[in-house]
Structure 1
Amino acid sequence: MSLSKKRYVYVVVDDYSRFTWVFFLAHKEEAFDYFVKFSNRVENEKGLKISRIRSDHGREFENAKFDELCIEKGYKQEFSAPRTPQQNGVVERKNRTLQELARTMLHEFAVPKFLWAEAVNTACHVINRACIRSKLKKTPFELWVGRTPNISYFRVFGSKCFVLDESPKVTKFDAKSLTGIFVGYSNTSKAYRVYLPTSRVVIESINVKFNENANEKTEEGNSIVGIQDGATTQEIEFQPKDELPPVIIEEPLNRVGDNLIGGVNHEENTIDSTQDETPHDEPQPMPQPVHEPPEVLREVSSHPLSNVIGDPREGVRTRSGLNQMVGHCAFVSQLEPKSFKEANVDPNWIVAMQEELNQFERNQVWELVSLPSGKQVIGTKWVYRNKLDELGNVVRNKARLVAQGFKQQEGIDFEETFAPVARLESIRMLLAYASNKGFTLFQMDVKSAFLNGWIDEEVYVQQPPGFVDHFNPDHVFKLHKALYGLKQAPRAWYGRLCTFLLDNGFIRGKMDTTLFTKKRDDHLLLVQIYVDDIIFGSTNATLAQEFSSLMSSEFEMSMMGELNFFLGLQIKQLQDGIFISQTKYAKELIKKFGVEDSKSLDTPMGKSANIDADEKGKPMDITLYRGIIGSLLYLTASRPDIMYAVCLCARYQANPKESHHKAVKRILRYVKGTQNLGLWYGKQTELDLVGYTDADFAGDRMDRKSTSGTCQFLGGSLVSWSSRKQTSVALSTAEAEYVAAGSCCTQLLWMMQTLRDYELEFQKVPISCDNTSAILISKNPVLHSRTKHIEIRHHFIRDHVEKGDVELVYIDTKEQIADIFTKPLPTQQHLELRFKLGMLELKD
């Protein structure tokens, strides 16, 4: 998949001139729409009608729509014989040429594969202007346009370049340029297209300097560094503007589709079309170490690279001493250093540290002072992390300077520390609401968010390792704003963000204080905060755009775009709903815990599973067991089908035995066979709230306590679920079911109050229960031998039933969805209830 989420390349060739156009499609069905636009444009441009169209027998071309178009326009449609690509030789050959050129261009400078669409588009642009049509002794551009093309503006694809940073936030001493990768030419203006690895965006600019020889070597082995200015006064010819849609925020390549369309051999004025084949996943060549001057990497402001301990120009080796470059991918390092000493030999990490300190200067985080007498100084440390996308690819190296907050003293260095974060149920409710209303959710990340929070305490920290002021080595930094690692940093950031949003007309949620809303006319803007990650969307796209601009005006933002990866959840927003999964994480678990070669199973736990403390069993590694349980608990964020099994095994973390290890391994084997499962949030006509509750009476073999299982749906989408052992022993099934219903009621009440901020009101929310006695107890305050002993706190559900907030309704046991959260089930019943939860596999 390309950055703009395109899977297929659709190639069109003019048979006479061999002039070629490329279009990029997310789905094959789009081919017809693209061809209609294309035919209208070229016929208007040339004043000629298309004579014939030749393609293969793909359904995207051999269909009713194309037939009607050909009849209406008078086109003659021809098809190549099955499995006879030579009858479509012109475009088949062009398809191969574009693919080979694009592959070579990507591998020359180890350009990320998800830029394949840019490579194909650039290859097409160059072929049209540089290749001679042998029979006519002219280029396709000359034959199509009627004049000789100007190619003096051509640059080396994939070469390092530097784009003028025209952001209004750039100050006098900030770096004036952004490091990028040259990926082609604009289709809509006289400009170059540049990919910025740090922000994963493609921008267009004419103010570009190129370093096309960065990877070339002299005989002595030194790098040849040649910086060239981008063309600013030359006349540049570009392709028609529909060849490649403008790309702002895109995502990495998964695959390129199957053959789409064919070509023609006849020397006539016809139009042919094709689709690119899937490029082979070949290993990228390992780039050689490049010894460049530090100035080429980045301009520096307050901390010149000369202040850094060591020589940043030295070649990079891995810790094991292999002759490999750490920076195997373009402009990012693949390894995470464990210390400053390791990071200091890699220019990528040196630049990352410099960027972090530049953030400190821009945000006025601190000032260099001498340490006052009697004051404590807190140490600092560098922490290095690679930022990954939803497919696990490294997209950015992030160096974070953190304070050693464990040395802080309460009452002196900090006071309050609590800061709210969004619950996963809140995130899923927002997703369900967006799916129901049919609007797109976006995400953004506040860059170095904690550096924006003001602190009231007087705190001093040491100078960063490797960046000590030569003139004042004994000085310390006095903090004006929070630093990562300080105990009060999260609270300071939340306070700053909350104040900013409230001052700009937002309303904070009364129940969920991480939810902020803003209403305009009949439209609602929703903003959900998770520390420095922000999800937002609106029924009015203008409100979402305004919020994005508002945040960018106050804070430095990064990674803005459609919501697709959040807190480990892979999120696909489609026209008919939203799909939530953790496929990537599930695959990592399977590999991490060694079940790759194990046979997959149909259920997470056998129907006759007998799990208890097993006091006489053989002990196992407690750390390993807890690691598996913790990993599986995180997987339940989108996998309610394993909730009961994982929670049951989690009860034995204090003293795990081999029998418990076999049980969790079975869960992993089930995950192996269902790793693509996820939650589907489809569009529903009604946005209703529904709860289900069930209990397994005396299910625990050791203490005979029951297990409560509950789940809640919003608009037909599962947003909350739980499986918990009850705290007291129930004397009857009715009592166990009654206690479970109370647990479901508490969650529904929280959801009802939270959804009031969505301007949604609910009354008599149904709670489906399969026990008639429990339903009667909730309605009638009877006191007899079977209910008089029930703890008072469990009777609160009666009050809410009487008020009309909730209502217990009967459901047949076979239809009870919450049954999956209380006990192991037979395979068929497990599959049926899993489907009713809204779990399915999404086909590409």
Structure 2
Amino acid sequence: MARSLLKAKGIPNQFWAESVATAVYLLNISPTKAVLNRTPYEVWKGRKPRISHLKIFGCIAYVYVNSHDRHKLEDKSEKCIFIGYCPQSKAYRLYNPCSKKLIISRSVIFEENEDWCQAMKDEIAAIEKNNIWMLIDLPEGKKAIDLKWVFKTKYHADGSIQKHKARLVAKGYSQKESIVFQETFSPVARIETVRVLLAIAAYLNVPVYQFDVKSAFLHGVLKEEVYVNQPQGFTVNGKEKKVYKLKKALYGLKQAPRTWYGEIDTYFQQNGFMRSKNEPTLYIKRKNSEMLVVCIYVDDMIYMRSSSSIISEFKQSMMRRFEMTDLSLLHYFLGLEVKQCEDGIFISQEKYAIDLLKRFGMQNCNEAMTPMNLNEKLYEKDDVPLTEPHIFRSLVGGLIYLTHTRPDISFSVGMVSRFMHGPTRHHFGVAKRILRYITGTIDYGLWFFNITNFKLFGFSDSDWAGSLDNRRSTSGNFFSLGFSAISWCSKKQATTALSSTEAEYVAITLAACQVVWLRRLLEELHQKQEGATNVFCDNKATIALTKNPIFHGRTKHVDIKHHFIRELTTESIVDLKFCNTNEQVADILTKALSYKKFVYFRTSMEVCNFESREDVGNILIQS
């Protein structure tokens, strides 16, 4: 390890003692199997070591020079090399190559990575290019907001580094409502909308492209007076006490997302786009027989078209107005890995799943065949409470995000998420079993096939009194567009059903609301659904109840909102069809199943890996 520290930064071997001391120090605050994955420091001292002070060995560091050790015109700092930690204090050990002196100091600024320094310079350049601020004296009675740097490494879909990103962020939590800002809400695209667009692209056999707006929030014009202090490392010499008055928004301000959305919304509508009434982040432009569709998620955009000419015009117009990064074909979007080929489009979250397994140390665990045991029983306080519940909550949050492409785990993830407020060891074990299932299906995702049948249809199901705490039921629905999974839901009902028929009735209404939204969205995208949308249910009594306008004695207590399905059935918007329980795909969203049933329904939902497209496609066509 000491040799690696020297070679990594090209430090001469004369500093071997410093590298050895640093290596020993780092090993003592690193977990080891010798003491049950704890650190030697923790075993000896009885507390966990702090690591916020750790720096890269051999990096450039600037040491502050006291005023009595320099003349007025001399530099306030000396450029040194970081060579270790002082064992007697919290100071750092540094070497000045010019004076060849060893310096021990705590007043140090580190330059750990040249990529980050360049990223900071690029961020300041973008701010100045967009004319974001002006340097002035702070007006009397006004307060300036502090700034801070936030660093992030962006990756490609294959895990390789795309770029180092430095973002200058305002500490917006200090802003006061109605004084410094008014509105903050900004819509983002629903994940169902993204899946609908991919399904349509696969059906029409057209490619999907991606744009990234550089420093998007810096384009929003502010209406309020906002002042910020000068950023660390970029203060103007001789004007250190001045502040910046913001003309446009800065990342971190509470109104920044709102101002950016207003800016991009205005741009699209001024350039002939129509904003969707059902998805405020979806914009559609029609030109003769051509159509261009753009979906935005903050500063990321995906778009598809019916011809190449309208695309070229759109790209040129966007690049004239905003500084853009043209990422060409869509490959990676919101953690979704996208593969476009002749057979259709495949999306997955393999890289995210791998990172999730590594985060919780489950990358080498034994595989599970299903995400949940068939006879699993979960209820509150069923075991010893967890001493660190935040770990459970973090795990469940990660699993919820994974359900964007994995409907097969929606029910099991929904079950464990019901115990976020007071998780037990049993709940944590059930959540870890989901990870074990993910290990064996880590490359699974969704296929959007290029199939001529492009009808919207769905399945609705419910268990009865499945919750052991309050005996409420779980609704499940699943919708497919031309055998492409676009929407699914597994959700505990808000009321207690008195019978299985009533539980199914409530579930049908939830599914019907989704049908209405999907049909309206598809109509805006020139994919109008002719006739009623078939929704399959395995309860004949429930189907009869939806078609009979008379209030039976057994349903007179049902809330009026659940009778919405009757209106949709009468208007031929929804057509409820009976299906055998063994063919009820939504069954996988309401309860734990046996392995055989689970695999059958998982395949019916088009969940598979990239190589299984032919087998799954044949099964779906036959069904």
**Which band: TM-score by shorter chain?**
0.7 to 0.9
Cα shift at 1:597? 3.0
Q: Which amino acid aligns with 1:840?
A: C
Report which stretch shifted further, 481-490 or 656-665: 656-665
| Distance in 2 separating the partners of 1:318 and 1:710 | 59
| Deviation readout 1:570-610 (Å, 9 max, x if unpaired) | 11111111111011111112222122332101101111112
Once residues 110 and 313 of structure 2 are traced to their aligned partners in structure 1, the CA distance between those partners, rounded to angstroms, is: 39
Deviation at 1:358, TM superposition (A): 0.7
Counterpart AA for 2:211:
M
Residue 638 of structure 1 aligns to a residue in which SS? coil
Find the aligned partners of 1:623 and 1:542 in 2 and give their Cα distance.
Answer: 52
Find the aligned partners of 2:336 and 2:462 in 1 and give their Cα distance. Answer: 29
Equivalence for 2:522 = 755
Map 1:389-404; keep pairs closer than 5 Å: 389-404=156-171
| Letter paired with 1:732 | S
Query: Alpha carbon RMSD of aligned pairs, Å?
Result: 2.9
**Superposed displacement of residue 675, structure 1:** 0.4
Secondary structure of 1:550's counterpart equals helix
1:677 matched to 2:444? The reply is yes
Which sections of structure 2, spanning at least 5 residues, go unmatched? 1-7, 13-56, 61-74, 88-106, 613-623
Residue aligned with 2:269, SS: helix
> For the Cα contact (< 8 Å) 2:412–2:434, is it kept in 1?
yes
Partner of 1:708: 475
Q: Which residue of 1 is the match for residue 287 of structure 2?
A: 520
What is residue 535 of structure 2 aligned with on the other side? 767
Per-residue Cα deviation, 1:746-774 (whole angstroms, up to 9, x for no partner): 11111112222202222311111111111
Task: Tell me, yes or no, if structure 1 residue 822 matches structure 2 residue 593.
Answer: no
Change (3 A) 1:581 1:343: farther
**Hey, what does 1:353 align to over in structure 2?**
120
Q: 1:167-213 CA deviation, whole Å, 9 max, x = no partner?
A: xxxxxxxxxxxxxxxxxxxxxxxxxxxxxxxxxxxxxxxxxxxxxxx
The correspondence for 1:836, drawn from 604, 618, 622, is: 604
Q: What is the TM-score normalised by the length of structure 2?
A: 0.81
What residue number does 1:428 align with? 195
Does residue 558 of structure 2 align to residue 784 of structure 1?
A: no
Contact 2:395 2:431 (C-alpha < 8 Å) held by counterparts = yes
CA deviation after TM superposition for structure 1 residue 698, in Å: 1.3
* Inter-partner Cα distance in structure 1 for 2:85 and 2:281: 42
Q: What whole-Å deviation, never above 9, does each CA across 1:640-694 have from its counterpart, x for those lacking one? A: 1011001011111111111111111111111111101110111110321112100
Report if the CA contact (8 A) 1:601-1:670 is conserved.
Answer: yes
SS at match of 2:509: helix
Native 8 Å contact 2:11 2:58 kept in 1: no
Question: Higher helix proportion, which one?
Answer: 2
Work out the CA distance in 2 between the residues paired with 1:661 and 1:736.
29
Q: Which residue of 2 aligns with 1:366?
A: 133
Based on CA coordinates, which of the two structures has the bigger radius of gyration?
1
2:298 maps to amino acid: V
Structure 1 residues 481 and 805: CA distance shift in structure 2, 3 A: same
Distance 2:608 2:84 in 1: 42
Q: What aligned pairs does 1:162-561 form with structure 2 within 5 A after superposition?
A: 344-561=111-328
Alignment equivalent of 1:575, drawn from 342, 366, 373: 342
State the 1:418 CA deviation.
Answer: 1.0
Within the candidate set 607, 622, 630, 2:397 is matched to 630
Distance 1:553 1:620 in 2: 55
Distance in 1 (CA, whole Å) between partners of 2:187 and 2:145 is 26
Amino acid at match of 1:719: I
Deviations 1:207-255 (A, max 9, x none): xxxxxxxx9999xxxxxxxxxxxxxxxxxxxxxxxxxxxxxxxxxxxxx
- Report the residue type matching 2:454 in the other structure: L
In structure 2, what is the equivalent of residue 282 of structure 1? none
Is this contact kept in 2: 1:383–1:402, CA < 8 A?
yes
Q: Pick from 483, 488, 505: which aligns with 1:738?
A: 505
What letter is aligned with 1:498?
D
Cα distance, 1:735 vs structure 2? 0.7
Give, in whole Å, the separation in 2 of the partners of 1:371 and 1:545: 46
Q: Distance in 1 between matches of 2:309 and 2:77?
A: 50
Q: Give the C-alpha shift of residue 315 in structure 1.
A: 5.7
Q: Percent identical across equivalent pairs?
A: 40
Mapped contact 2:269–2:275 kept (Cα < 8 A)? yes
Question: SS of the counterpart of 2:148?
Answer: strand
Q: 1:320 to 1:565 in 2, by over 3 A?
A: farther
Quote the residue 1:242 is aligned against.
none
Q: Which residue of 2 aligns with 1:798?
A: 566
> Which position in structure 1 is the counterpart of 2:455?
688
Write the distance in 2 (CA, Å) between the matches of 1:318 and 1:688: 66
* Amino acid of the structure 2 residue aligned with 1:830: F
Determine the structure 1 residue equivalent to 2:16.
none
State the distance in 1 between where 2:84 and 2:151 align: 15
> Which SS does the other structure have where 2:611 is aligned?
coil
- Code of the residue aligned with 1:519 in structure 2: it is R
Q: CA separation of 1:320/1:415 partners in 2, compared to 1, >3 Å: closer, same or farther? A: farther
Shift of residue 716, structure 1, vs aligned partner: 1.4
SS in 2 for 1:660: helix
- How many residues are aligned here? 535
Query: What is the alpha-carbon distance in structure 2 between the residues aligned to residue 490 and residue 319 of structure 1?
Result: 42
2:33 corresponds to which residue? none
Task: Quickly say closer, same or farther: Cα 1:740–1:636, change in 2 above 3 A.
Answer: same
**Does the C-alpha gap of structure 1 residues 415 and 786 become closer, same or farther in structure 2, counting only changes over 3 Å?**
same
Change (3 A) 1:733 1:309: farther
Aligned partner of 1:773: which letter? A
Q: TM-score, normalised by structure 1?
A: 0.60
Q: Counterpart amino acid of 1:561?
A: S
2:376 to 600, 605, 609: 609
Query: For residue 3 of structure 2, what is the aligned residue in structure 1?
Result: none
Counterparts in 2 of 1:310 and 1:760: CA distance versus 1, 3 Å: farther
Q: Is the 8 A contact 1:309 1:344 kept in 2?
A: no
